Amino acid sequence: YKKTQTINVNQSVDVGRMAKSSMHRWATRAIADKPISMLQIADGDGVNASPSLPVSMMATHYGISRAADYIGIIAIDPATTITVTAPDGTDKGTFSLARHASAKALAPYTYKYTDGASVAAGTRISCSNPCFMIYDDEGPGADRDETIMMGFTP
């Protein structure tokens, strides 16, 4: 989100509809002086919504259990890289997260990973610094919306 806004209890901020192709531009980070909650109501083509997690719940290792259209990776450390490993153990590469040129100084860094048309079930991603990840599943029987990924830090 590109602006700073002060809100009072029981108010909300709607950042508007965002296409998955613009995740890099609109990744949102909230910093508050009191406990808050944030909810992402997906992109409207399915039924999911996912909460934003506190920094303490970010992790460095993730795996995806089903095929996905893409994996969205978000981190707050500017030096964060991800390493992607295919289900068969093949190294798919190491990628750097970046922040949109117009982003505010505290905005998160992002990367949208896809391996051609999709990401195979069993793909593993490790981050050099704690990250937050979501995936979008578009295949047969999928709910066609963003889903939070749970990871771990060894």
Read off the pLDDT of each residue in 140-154 and give the average, rounded to a whole number. 79
Read off the pLDDT of each residue in 98-126 and give the average, rounded to a whole number. 88
pLDDT above 90 coverage of the chain, percent:
36
Read off the pLDDT of each residue in 5-15 and give the average, rounded to a whole number. 60
**What pLDDT score does 2 carry?**
43
**What pLDDT score does 137 carry?**
76
Give the amino acid at 22: S
Q: What sign does the dihedral 136-142-144-149 (CA atoms) show?
A: negative
Q: Whole-angstrom Cα distance, residue 29 to residue 122?
A: 29
**What pLDDT score does 40 carry?**
66
- List pLDDT tens digits, range 47-82: 566 677 788 889 999 999 888 888 999 999 999 999
